[in-house]
Amino acid sequence: ASQTPPKMSGNVVPSIGKPAPKFKGTAVVDGEFKQISLEDYEGKYVVFFFYPLDFTFVCPTEIIAFSERAEEVNTDRKQGGLGSMDIPLLADKNLEIAKSYGVLKEEDGVAYRGLFIIDGKQNLRQVTINDLPVGRDVDETLRLLCPAGWKPGSKTMKADPKGSKEYFESEN
C-alpha cells in the first residue's frame, strides 16, 4: 500500500550567492526604536538570524551569546575580526521577513531557527535552518566565516588560485 507523502510547507529558501531578500522594519538598536533595512548594512557582513519565541529554553541563550560576543565579532579585520557589525533586534510581526527568507513554520506562525550570512554586497553566503528545539552557537557561526582550523593572527588565503597556492606554500 502506498502512503501519501507529507505536504511541504511551501517555504522557498533564497539561493546562495544571490542577493539576500530585502527587509525593513522597526528594531531595537542601542536601546532605541529605529527603522532599519538591509540596505543600511551595505559594505558590512551581516549575520541575520531568526528565533521563534521569546522566553523559551533555547532562544534567550542564543540571543545572549550573540550579544556577549558582539565585541569579538566587531574586532577590526586587521586584528582578525570581521569589522563593524551591528546586532539590532528586528520585529517581524507580520512574518513577511520570515516568509521571504523561507523560514516560516506556517502552521505555528513562528520562524524556524534560520541563520543567514550576508556579505557586504548583500549576497547570501551561508544558510542554516534548524528545527525549533535545535540551537545555534556563536563559535559555529564564526567558524563558518573563516578557513577550517583558522585562529586569530593566523594567515589567510585570497579566494583565487594564485592566493590559494601562496597560502599553501607558506603553510607547508
Name the residue range of residue 94's domain: 24-171
The answer to whether residue 67 is domain-embedded is yes
The answer to whether residue 118 is domain-embedded is yes
The answer to whether residue 6 is domain-embedded is no
Sequence-distant (6+) residues with CB within 8 A of 8 are none
Contact 63, 70 (CB under 8 A): no
The answer to whether residue 38 is domain-embedded is yes
| Burial class for 117, CB neighbours closer than 10 Å (0-12, 13-18, 19+) | buried
Catalytic residue flag (residue 59): yes
**Residue tagged active-site, from 29, 36, 59, 95:** 59
pLDDT tens-digit profile, the chain (172 residues): 555 544 445 678 889 999 999 999 988 787 778 999 999 999 998 888 887 765 555 555 666 666 676 666 556 656 555 454 457 878 888 999 999 999 999 999 999 989 999 999 999 999 999 998 888 888 888 788 777 777 777 776 666 677 677 777 777 6
Q: What's the pTM? A: 0.69
Contact 67, 74 (CB under 8 A): no
